[in-house]
Amino acid sequence: MSVIKGQWVQVRRIILAAGERAPSVPEDTKEVPLELRVKGFLLEEKSEVGELVTIETASGRKVSGKLEAVEPAHEHNFGDYIPELSEAGNELTRWLTGGDNDER
């Protein structure tokens, strides 16, 4: 897949190889490399997934790495719904406003 300059992409780079990890990390962590994944705008005129490229992040930082994804999705979230947190939010609102919202 050809990727053109200015497209939103994700790059990946190995920061520390498995043998270079700190001695204090857990054993299962020592067995894998420390990886960096960064999203930004492609600076090369034309590239392919898997090539080494440079991107510019939204904050203007330039980062090089292996082109891993084109127009990557946002995969983060704030977890599952927790009913207790909703009730806590309602209680906090009542406390901050000085009473029960139903009375107003």
Chain length of the chain: 104
Q: Which fold has domain 1-73?
A: SH3 type barrels. (2.30.30)
Residue 65, burial from CB neighbour count under 10 angstroms (0-12, 13-18, 19+): buried
Write the pLDDT tens digit of every residue in 1-26. 789 999 999 999 999 999 899 999 99
Segment 75-83 mean pLDDT: 84
> Which DSSP string do the residues of 56-80 spell out, in sequence order?
E-TTS-EEEEEEEEESPPP-----S
Q: What band does 100 get if pLDDT is binned at 50, 70 and 90? A: low
* Residue 104: pLDDT band with limits 50, 70, 90: very low
Separation of alpha carbons 94 and 104, rounded Å: 11
Instruction: State mean pLDDT over 44-64.
Output: 96
Using the predicted structure, report yes or no on whether residue 67 has a pLDDT greater than 90.
yes
The alpha carbon torsion through 73, 58, 17, 2 (nearest 10 deg) reads: 60
- Average pLDDT taken over every residue of the chain: 90
Q: What is the mean pLDDT of residues 34-38?
A: 96
Question: Could you state, in order of their start, the residue ranges of all structural domains in the chain?
Answer: 1-73
pLDDT reading at 73 higher than 80: yes
